[in-house]
């Protein structure tokens, strides 16, 4: 008897628990009606889950592909401009930039290559792409960063060459000198091959220095480190102006002629005293003196030649003028002995000792070569100066250090006197980087900057901001920002669409559940009033339809979830061939499930409020009265 009678389920201690058991028992008692309601809820929720699963899965797949492929983070400049090291370092230090490497000119960044083992096989044209450090395109596509004389080939380049990692590639940088072709040979070890998605180009990723030497060679310069012949890139003098001395003063028309098409922009007549101050020379009597100069940028020898041509036959004397320069006098160890102001004078090298006599024939460009005299008259700094000292100049981070022969005679003032040709070259250093090459015993030009860069944003969300930053600097760039924006917009539109459909579906579901629960309460007024009579409070009974609503909606949600998983599996199986590992077109995250459960619980509670309100208004006397 006891065993048969023992209640196992409905023996809770709190009235809340009892009400839950009663509401569950009532649903089970009318299981056919309850099942219909559960299926109705599932019919509303299933399409919504599938729709959201499709939206989320598709967008996430697109986003995943955007995130996974570093090409979508790449930012390429669309103009050829000189980007100096300083700018590149600045942009590379930004938090939203993960990688940047300079690029040489596109036209100079190609070689013809073949494998060393294939000897005379047909050459394949290869683009050279610079890489270094953290290049995501290389690292995220199955290769390591090449070093020294290594290269990483794209898939199409490797196929064209038949190359495998470890093999030696022989590349030929070609140039045309006059009417003949020349080629510089370089050997590169294939250290890796990228996956096909990295690039469809036939290209080799190489250290930046390889591109630099190829560019130098293609520009006609010699590349001693590779044994490639060519002309040296010598530094050249630039001037701040020219002083014109002549017996007859200029007419306004003459003055206009001198600043028209010569590179100069200003002309002014100066006094003999000013002339001496500028040139350290005595002005000849009965001469008008003019300073022809520019406001900002220095001019080359061509501008001086243009002035000379315009004054041909006038008997004018031309003296190039350079503003005083600052330098340091150092010992061979680099220790600063003295700071110097360098004053350039237009004395011929062999006239330096006779200075300050004015050149009788005026200035000529004959001596304007790279083999400038590195001589100087130093002021009285020390009595035991060596015959050769080191001068050092600085410009931002750049340092130019070079030896200078000290003439026995001392300069009269506190400035060091140097020949105007040397001054012109040192003046060039104020505008661009040059270096003294002891091997060639000449000043040579150093790279001013780079024609482009490869830049990768830290994340796809940073691309748009970087694009705007660069465009604000006047650098139009190509990015995949539009593609990223398209995905974001698609996500927005689909979310809106989903919300609209959800709103309609949920309204219908809530209305159906509300009506069903209310009708159920009306049908069970008698039983519910009995519950009130035997001691359930209004508050306790209020929960009766709420629990029923939550139970029905919860069961409906579980059924819908089961249906969703079946459908998601089917959809993903159907489109498996279009999906990569870890991708799916239809899926929900755990967070979505938590949100869905919460939303269903809240909506079910709201749906049952009308019924709950009705229950709370039932009077216990109704059970007696209706009898």
Partner 1 sequence: MGQSDQIHYSLRQVSKTRQKGGVAFELKIPALRIRRGECVAFIGQSGCGKSTLLDMLALVLRPTEADEFLFQISADYPALPRFQATSLNSASLQEIASLSDMQLAHIRRSQIGYVLQSGGLLPFLTVRDNILLPCALNGLADQWEVLEILAARLNISDQLTKKPRYLSGGQRQRAAIARALAHRPSVVLADEPTAAVDRINAGEIGRIFKSLAEEMGVTLLLASHDQQMVSATADRVFVFQVKKIGPTGTRSTVIESN
Query: Residue 38 class from Cβ within 10 Å (0-12 exposed, 13-18 middle, 19+ buried)?
Result: buried
Nearest approach in angstroms of CB 616 to partner 1 is: 9
| Residues contacting partner 1: total by CB under 8 A | 37
Residue 32 binding partner 1, by CB under 8 A:
no
Are 53 and 587 a contacting pair, CB within 8 Å?
A: yes
Residue 543 binding partner 1, by CB under 8 A:
no
Nearest approach in angstroms of CB 555 to partner 1 is: 17
Residue with smaller CB distance to partner 1, 24 or 257 = 24
Task: Give, for 406, the enclosing helix (H) or strand (E).
Answer: strand 398-406
Are 187 and 171 a contacting pair, CB within 8 Å?
A: yes
Neighbouring C-beta atoms of residue 293, cutoff 10 Å: 21
566's CB contacts (< 8 A; 6+ apart) are none
Binding test (CB under 8 A) with partner 1, winner from 59, 488, 527, 563: 527
Nearest approach in angstroms of CB 61 to partner 1 is: 49
Binding test (CB under 8 A) with partner 1, winner from 183, 458, 530, 610: 530
Q: Which two tokens stand for residue 288?
A: 């008008």
d(CA 45, CA 34): 16
Nearest approach in angstroms of CB 625 to partner 1 is: 6
Residue with smaller CB distance to partner 1, 116 or 619 = 619
Binding test (CB under 8 A) with partner 1, winner from 16, 25, 448, 595: 25
Question: What are the C-alpha distances in Å from 209 to residues 150, 186, 455, 461?
Answer: 11, 12, 18, 32
Nearest approach in angstroms of CB 620 to partner 1 is: 5
Residue 6 binding partner 1, by CB under 8 A:
yes
Are 229 and 222 a contacting pair, CB within 8 Å?
A: yes
- Binding segment for partner 1 (CB under 8 A), chosen from 67-75, 497-505, 527-535, 589-597, is 527-535
Binding test (CB under 8 A) with partner 1, winner from 7, 166, 252, 438: 7
Residue 11 binding partner 1, by CB under 8 A:
yes
Residue with smaller CB distance to partner 1, 404 or 551 = 551
- Binding segment for partner 1 (CB under 8 A), chosen from 179-187, 195-203, 534-542, 599-607, is 534-542
Residue with smaller CB distance to partner 1, 3 or 439 = 3
Binding test (CB under 8 A) with partner 1, winner from 277, 511, 573, 624: 624
- Binding segment for partner 1 (CB under 8 A), chosen from 12-20, 108-116, 186-194, 354-362, is 12-20
Binding mask 53-82 for partner 1 (x = CB under 8 A): ------------------------------
Nearest approach in angstroms of CB 58 to partner 1 is: 46
Binding test (CB under 8 A) with partner 1, winner from 539, 574, 595, 598: 539
Q: β-strands 180-193, 150-153: how paired?
A: parallel
Nearest approach in angstroms of CB 574 to partner 1 is: 45
Beta-strand ranges (E) seen in 178-309 are: 180-193, 203-207, 241-246, 266-270, 288-293
Residue with smaller CB distance to partner 1, 4 or 309 = 4
Residue 13 binding partner 1, by CB under 8 A:
yes
Binding test (CB under 8 A) with partner 1, winner from 16, 26, 164, 554: 26
Residue 30 binding partner 1, by CB under 8 A:
yes
276's CB contacts (< 8 A; 6+ apart) are 282, 283
Task: Give, for 338, the enclosing helix (H) or strand (E).
Answer: strand 336-345
Binding test (CB under 8 A) with partner 1, winner from 99, 290, 536, 547: 536
Binding test (CB under 8 A) with partner 1, winner from 216, 218, 532, 543: 532
Residue with smaller CB distance to partner 1, 433 or 623 = 623
Report helix, strand or coil for 284.
Answer: coil
Plot region of 246 (φ>0 → left; ψ -120 to 50 → alpha; else → beta): beta
Phi/psi of residue 444, nearest 5 degrees: -125, 155
Task: Give, for 394, the enclosing helix (H) or strand (E).
Answer: strand 388-395
Residue 12 binding partner 1, by CB under 8 A:
yes
Half-sphere exposure in the Cβ direction for 538 (13 Å, CA)? 6
Binding mask 147-176 for partner 1 (x = CB under 8 A): ------------------------------
Q: Which two tokens stand for residue 205?
A: 């990723």
Are 444 and 435 a contacting pair, CB within 8 Å?
A: yes
Nearest approach in angstroms of CB 609 to partner 1 is: 19
Task: Give, for 74, the enclosing helix (H) or strand (E).
Answer: strand 74-77
Q: Please give the span between the terminal C-alpha atoms of the chain, in angstroms, as a whole number.
A: 33
Residue with smaller CB distance to partner 1, 577 or 617 = 617
For 517-538, letters b (16+ CB in 10 Å) and e give bbebbeebbeebbbbbeeebee
- Binding segment for partner 1 (CB under 8 A), chosen from 94-102, 231-239, 532-540, 598-606, is 532-540
Residues 584-623 that bind partner 1 (CB under 8 A): 619-621, 623
Residue with smaller CB distance to partner 1, 7 or 119 = 7
Binding test (CB under 8 A) with partner 1, winner from 513, 540, 561, 600: 540
Q: Which two tokens stand for residue 593?
A: 């499930």
d(CA 486, CA 492): 10
d(CA 491, CA 503): 18
Which residues form the interface with partner 1 (CB under 8 A)?
1-2, 4-7, 10-13, 15, 18, 22, 25-26, 28-30, 527, 530-540, 619-621, 623-625, 627
């Amino acid at each position: 008897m006891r065993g048969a009678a023992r209640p196992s389920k409905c023996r809770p201690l709190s009235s809340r628990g009892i009400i839950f058991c009663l509401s569950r028992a009532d649903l089970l008692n009318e299981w056919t009606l309850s099942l219909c309601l559960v299926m109705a809820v599932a019919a509303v929720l299933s399409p919504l889950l599938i729709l959201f699963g499709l939206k989320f899965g598709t967008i996430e797949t697109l986003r995943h592909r955007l995130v996974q492929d570093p090409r979508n983070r790449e930012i390429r400049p669309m103009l050829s401009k000189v980007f100096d090291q300083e700018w590149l370092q600045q942009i590379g230090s930004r938090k939203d930039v993960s990688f940047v490497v300079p690029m040489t000119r596109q036209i100079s960044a190609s070689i013809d290559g073949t494998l060393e083992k294939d000897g005379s096989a047909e050459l394949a044209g290869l683009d050279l792409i610079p890489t270094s450090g953290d290049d995501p395109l290389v690292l995220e596509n199955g290769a390591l960063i090449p070093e020294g004389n290594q290269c990483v080939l794209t898939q199409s380049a490797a196929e064209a060459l038949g190359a495998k990692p470890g093999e030696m590639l022989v590349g030929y940088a070609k140039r045309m000198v006059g009417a003949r072709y020349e080629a510089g040979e370089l050997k590169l070890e294939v250290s890796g091959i990228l996956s096909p998605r990295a690039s469809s180009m036939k290209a080799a990723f190489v250290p930046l220095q390889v591109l630099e030497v190829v560019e130098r060679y293609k520009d006609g310069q010699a590349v001693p480190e590779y044994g490639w012949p060519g002309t040296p890139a010598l530094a050249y003098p630039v001037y701040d102006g020219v002083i014109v001395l002549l017996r007859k003063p200029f007419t306004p028309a003459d003055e206009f002629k001198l600043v028209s098409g010569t590179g100069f922009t200003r002309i002014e007549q100066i006094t003999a005293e000013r002339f001496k101050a500028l040139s350290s020379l005595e002005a000849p009597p009965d001469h008008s003196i003019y300073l022809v100069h520019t406001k900002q940028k220095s001019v080359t020898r061509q501008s001086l030649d243009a002035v000379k041509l315009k004054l041909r036959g006038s008997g004018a004397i031309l003296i190039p003028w350079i503003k005083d320069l600052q330098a340091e006098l150092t010992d061979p160890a680099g220790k600063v002995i003295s700071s110097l102001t360098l004053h350039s004078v237009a004395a011929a090298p062999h006239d330096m000792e006779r200075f300050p006599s004015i050149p009788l024939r005026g200035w000529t460009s004959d001596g304007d070569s790279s083999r400038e005299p590195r001589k100087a008259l130093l002021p009285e700094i020390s009595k035991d100066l060596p015959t050769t000292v080191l001068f050092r100049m600085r410009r931002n981070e750049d340092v130019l250090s070079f030896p200078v022969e000290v003439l026995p005679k001392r300069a009269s003032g506190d400035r060091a006197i140097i020949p105007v040709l040397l001054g012109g070259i040192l003046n060039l250093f104020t505008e661009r980087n040059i270096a003294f090459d002891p091997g060639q015993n000449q000043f040579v030009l150093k790279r001013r900057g780079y024609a482009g860069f490869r830049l990768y944003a830290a994340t796809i969300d940073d691309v748009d901001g970087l694009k705007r930053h660069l465009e604000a600097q006047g650098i139009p760039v190509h990015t995949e920002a539009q593609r990223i924006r398209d995905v974001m917009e698609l996500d927005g539109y689909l979310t809106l669409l989903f919300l609209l459909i959800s709103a309609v579906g949920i309204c219908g579901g809530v209305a159906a559940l509300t009506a069903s629960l209310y009708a159920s309460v009306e049908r069970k007024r008698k039983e519910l009033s009995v519950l009130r009579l035997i001691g359930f409070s209004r508050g306790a009974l209020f929960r009766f339809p709420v629990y029923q609503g939550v139970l029905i909606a919860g069961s409906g949600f579980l059924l819908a979830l089961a249906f969703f998983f079946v459908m998601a599996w089917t959809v993903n199986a159907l489109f498996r061939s279009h999906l990569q590992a870890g991708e799916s077109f239809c899926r929900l995250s755990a967070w979505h499930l938590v949100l869905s459960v919460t939303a269903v619980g809240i909506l079910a509670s709201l749906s049952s409020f009308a019924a709950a309100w009705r229950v709370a208004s039932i009077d216990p006397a109704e059970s007696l009265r209706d009898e």
